[in-house]
Amino acid sequence: MAASTSQHALVSVKSLCTGANFGFEKRTSKVRFVLVGRCCSGTRKLGLVCASNSHSSVMEPAQLPLSPESGNTPKKSSESALILIRHGESLWNEKNLFTGCVDVPLTPKGVDEAIEAGKRICNIPVDVIYTSSLIRAQMTAMLAMMQHRRKKVPIVVHSESEQAHRWSKIYSEETKKQSIPVITAWQLNERMYGELQGLNKQETADRFGKEQVHEWRRSYDIPPPNGESLEMCAERAVAYFKDQIVPQLVAGKHVMIAAHGNSLRSIIMHLDKLTSQEVISLELSTGIPMLYIFKEGKFIRRGSPAGPSEAGVYAYTRSLAQYRQKLDNMFQ
């Protein structure tokens, strides 16, 4: 039943993007990785190398979809920030359980990780936030934005029904200006682990064998029993990214996505043109934001922003430096 539901959902998402000719071409050198340790038996934990000005990984879209209702077209001089954050440690991460789409909150350590992520991006503009439908991603988004120097209030958009939309309406234009919409989407959820959800990872390896569990966890196209493979997760996550998030960037909006290891790996695979072998080796640390700059139809990967007291990422772009200076002037 679970497999049937998952497959139906994927077919529905696919239909949204049928005929959408949207792709990226790598314009510079290949993606580079650096070994930082081992994340589990037999696998290496890799991190993305922050590119320098002369070796940035740049992707150029073949065709950019526009929001039907906005009618906006990109301006050559416009620049948008795209921030990706994997949620902090959850209670089931702490217990070494397969979590998947089970809705589990953060641990105190996870809360601290989300706060630290917020400090790293506190000088980067954010106009709209996307999260999964799961509480650990939403907690991460809210805690991170509470650290932002602009002090805008993140507010969850309720559009599940006409009544929910009407009852959550804001009537003050000034309050709207001081708010940031938070849009939740199941398409950004963690990979659904099927019959492994709730099982202890070590006990599962003892029961089914390390090689079998490793194949379920780390292969690209082999799903666990009644669950999703990384390939299936990528289909829904990337389709949503193209259809809903890229138009926001094209319109000049600065976007933050707080989601999960596998849904974010899928989006990074798409942006950086990783192969199925490269993406299964990619691990994202919890609570460490990844920054991309979207400019003139290109995604430029900048790595992780430095902390609020360091110049770090602001040297890469004049627009970010000017925004930080504006905040300094506002709050000095």
The pLDDT score that the predictor gives to residue 162 is 94
Q: What is the CATH number of the domain that holds 229?
A: 3.40.50.1240
Q: Is the pLDDT of residue 61 over 50?
A: no
Mean pLDDT, the chain, whole residue set: 81
Q: At 306, is the pLDDT very low, low, confident or very high (cuts 50, 70, 90)?
A: confident
3-state secondary structure of 269: helix
Q: Is 201 among the annotated ligand-binding positions?
A: yes
Q: Is 132 among the annotated ligand-binding positions?
A: no
d(CA 80, CA 86): 20
The answer to whether position 12 is within a domain reads no
Question: How far apart are the two ends of the chain, measured CA to CA in Å?
Answer: 58
Q: Is 158 among the annotated ligand-binding positions?
A: no
Concerning whether 55 is annotated as a catalytic residue, the answer is no
Q: Specify the number of domains making up the chain.
A: 1
Concerning whether 87 is annotated as a catalytic residue, the answer is yes
The answer to whether position 309 is within a domain reads yes
Contact predicate 192/217, CB 8 Å: no
Q: Is 38 among the annotated ligand-binding positions?
A: no
Q: Which of 67-81, 100-114, 212-226 has the lowest mean pLDDT?
A: 67-81
Q: Is 190 among the annotated ligand-binding positions?
A: yes
The answer to whether position 44 is within a domain reads no
Per the model's pLDDT, the better-predicted residue between 172 and 74 turns out to be 172
The pLDDT score that the predictor gives to residue 71 is 44
Structure-token pair, residue 225: 């029993």
Model's pTM, two decimal places?
0.77
The answer to whether position 6 is within a domain reads no
Identify the active-site residue in 113, 116, 190, 235: 190
The pLDDT score that the predictor gives to residue 314 is 83
The answer to whether position 64 is within a domain reads no
Average pLDDT over residues 244-265: 97
Q: Is the pLDDT of residue 249 over 60?
A: yes
The answer to whether position 63 is within a domain reads no
Q: Strands 58-61 and 179-184: what pairing?
A: unpaired
The pLDDT score that the predictor gives to residue 309 is 79
Q: Is 97 among the annotated ligand-binding positions?
A: no
- 57: closest CA among 312, 315, 300, 313? 300
Strand order in the sheet with 79-86: 24-26, 58-61, 298-303, 290-295, 79-86, 255-259, 128-131, 179-184, 153-156
The answer to whether position 311 is within a domain reads yes
Contact predicate 79/295, CB 8 Å: yes
Q: What residues does 48 pair with on adjacent strands?
A: 33
Identify the active-site residue in 79, 87, 228, 235: 87
Q: Is the pLDDT of residue 20 over 90?
A: no
DSSP H helical ranges for the chain: 2-16, 91-94, 108-120, 135-145, 162-167, 173-177, 201-208, 210-218, 230-240, 246-250, 261-272, 276-280, 318-331
The answer to whether position 92 is within a domain reads yes
Average pLDDT over residues 280-309: 90
Contact predicate 187/236, CB 8 Å: yes
User: Domain limits at 145?
Assistant: 78-328
Average pLDDT over residues 240-253: 97
Q: Is 296 among the annotated ligand-binding positions?
A: no
Q: Is 93 among the annotated ligand-binding positions?
A: yes
